[in-house]
């Protein structure tokens, strides 16, 4: 099972496999054709409240991870969709944040690998 993460603004690559956008909001200034997103799972993204609270502040990263993992417990159907896709072939989780180390895709990748 290969689960990669990648900023949606980066060029799509043949090794990406199935590309899943895991942001609640569509990336600003990016056309659907250029993004080459196979599936947009906006409901698996952090809640609006959590996203606004976190605001990609690395000082809040530990708490964000805990809170987001808690939210994921109520998103079993979306997680199941992700798990199925990872068993079908390579998957790349796409996110829009500039911070490559502190975003929801990092958390989702860890959750999927632990299952």
Domain span holding position 53: 3-114
In 3D space, the residue among 8, 13, 52, 54 whose CA is nearest the CA of residue 31 turns out to be 8
pLDDT for the residue 1: 78
Is residue 3 helix, strand or coil?
A: strand
- DSSP string for residues in 44-63: GSPPHHHHHHHTT-GGGHHH
**Is 115 in contact with 83 (CB distance < 8 Å)?**
yes
Give per-residue pLDDT as tens, 83-109. 999 999 999 999 999 999 999 999 999
Give per-residue pLDDT as tens, 26-68. 999 999 999 999 999 999 999 999 999 999 999 999 999 999 9
CA neighbours closer than 13 Å in the CB half-sphere of residue 77: 3
Both ends of the chain: CA-CA distance in Å?
Answer: 11
Q: How many domains does the chain fold into?
A: 1
pLDDT for the residue 111: 95
Positive or negative torsion for Cα 9, 85, 79, 113:
negative
pLDDT for the residue 66: 98
């Amino acid at each position: 099972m290969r689960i990669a993460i990648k900023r949606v603004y980066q060029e799509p690559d043949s090794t990406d496999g199935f590309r899943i956008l895991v942001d609640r909001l569509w990336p600003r200034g990016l056309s659907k054709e250029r993004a080459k997103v196979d599936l947009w799972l906006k409901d698996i993204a952090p809640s609006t409240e959590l996203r606004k609270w976190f605001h990609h502040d690395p000082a809040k990263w530990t708490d964000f991870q805990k809170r987001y993992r808690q939210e994921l417990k109520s998103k079993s159907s979306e997680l199941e969709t992700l798990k199925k896709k990872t068993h079908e072939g390579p998957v790349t989780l796409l996110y829009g944040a500039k911070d490559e180390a502190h975003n929801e895709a990092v958390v989702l990748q860890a959750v999927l690998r632990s299952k």
